[in-house]
Structure 1
């Protein structure tokens, strides 16, 4: 009976973590995330096309969300494949580290901004207030608690299904869960190594 409760707790923490840490799921797009070549820039004709473009774009996203939305960065197929391979390798390493619950090793995969954000008492309090954690009387007091109660149950078997480039050195790793894309990690290339970054 106790093992059933642990399984339910871990499953709930996984769902809660994915919901909280994934600022959202990528919007379905008809465009492929990879462009074979970067489009060449051509001189703009008169400035008259600009006003209709702004009017066409404004109604789609809600105004409050507009500053947070980042355009995807188009890359060559070669760069996409190389980055996909690198990120897939990092996620495999992270899976092993997380399965072993090796907190110290996990820290080496984080950007300083990520460490600061998830060490913040305010952030820890917000996460602790999630229903799955409050129901199980779990209160996060440190980054290590966050690793133990949120990351370990939810990220031990992550799989890379797709990448979204935000810029040449920042990507979102996507895993398809029940047919829907979910952001696993936002990663930033720091001195040649992919590190988990803050959303």
Structure 2
């Protein structure tokens, strides 16, 4: 029996917790998340971070090369395909015809001219905002909305590729 004047404390009902599957917590990005895949070769967020870090160093060195107009050092950053492409007479002719400003009218004769009149004036103080994979070993280097470079990893080294 209850004694008069005493009441048992009634606990308010606890709100029902949603089942875990109803509202899963948003998954935070993981370094192991696959961000690109090419013929079964997966590129993870971690791979991209590492590549971007390596490429930032290459771009810093290319900035130094261009500011010093150091053609012989620039050659060290070119793939053989890049050298071949930008040494071709038809490419040099087409590029000569599209030179702007004070370079207008200059006829590019070789890769050295391409470096002096095209590469150096257009590649001052570049930075890497992002990279976009074109294949497991080839990326576009992006600054803002511009594609600065195409780089390929060849024998463990990032080089300019056409």
Equivalent in the alignment of 1:142: 110
TM-score by length of 2: 0.73
Equivalent in the alignment of 1:42: none
Q: CA RMSD in A?
A: 2.5
Structure 1 position 189 matched with structure 2 position 153: yes
Q: Distance in 2 between matches of 1:196 and 1:116?
A: 12
Instruction: Give the drift of 1:133.
Output: 6.1
Give the 5 Å matches for 1:1-199: 36-38=32-34, 75-130=43-98, 132=100, 136-176=104-144, 181-198=145-162
Q: Distance in 2 between matches of 1:135 and 1:38?
A: 45
Q: Give the paired residue count.
A: 130
Q: Distance in 2 between matches of 1:131 and 1:169?
A: 31
Q: Do the aligned partners of residues 103 and 131 (structure 1) sit closer, same or farther apart at CA in structure 2, a change above 3 Å counting?
A: closer
Q: Do the aligned partners of residues 105 and 193 (structure 1) sit closer, same or farther apart at CA in structure 2, a change above 3 Å counting?
A: same
Q: Do the aligned partners of residues 150 and 112 (structure 1) sit closer, same or farther apart at CA in structure 2, a change above 3 Å counting?
A: same
CA contact (8 A) 2:31 2:44 kept: yes
Instruction: Give the drift of 1:187.
Output: 0.4
Whichever structure has more helix as a proportion of its residues is: 1
For the pair shown, the structure with the greater C-alpha radius of gyration is 2
SS of residue in 1 equivalent to 2:57: helix
Instruction: Give the drift of 1:87.
Output: 0.3
Farther-moved stretch of structure 1 (106-115 vs 132-141): 132-141
TM-score by length of 1: 0.60
Q: Do the aligned partners of residues 131 and 94 (structure 1) sit closer, same or farther apart at CA in structure 2, a change above 3 Å counting?
A: closer
User: Unaligned stretches of 5+ in structure 1?
Assistant: 1-33, 40-69
User: Unaligned stretches of 5+ in structure 2?
Assistant: 1-29
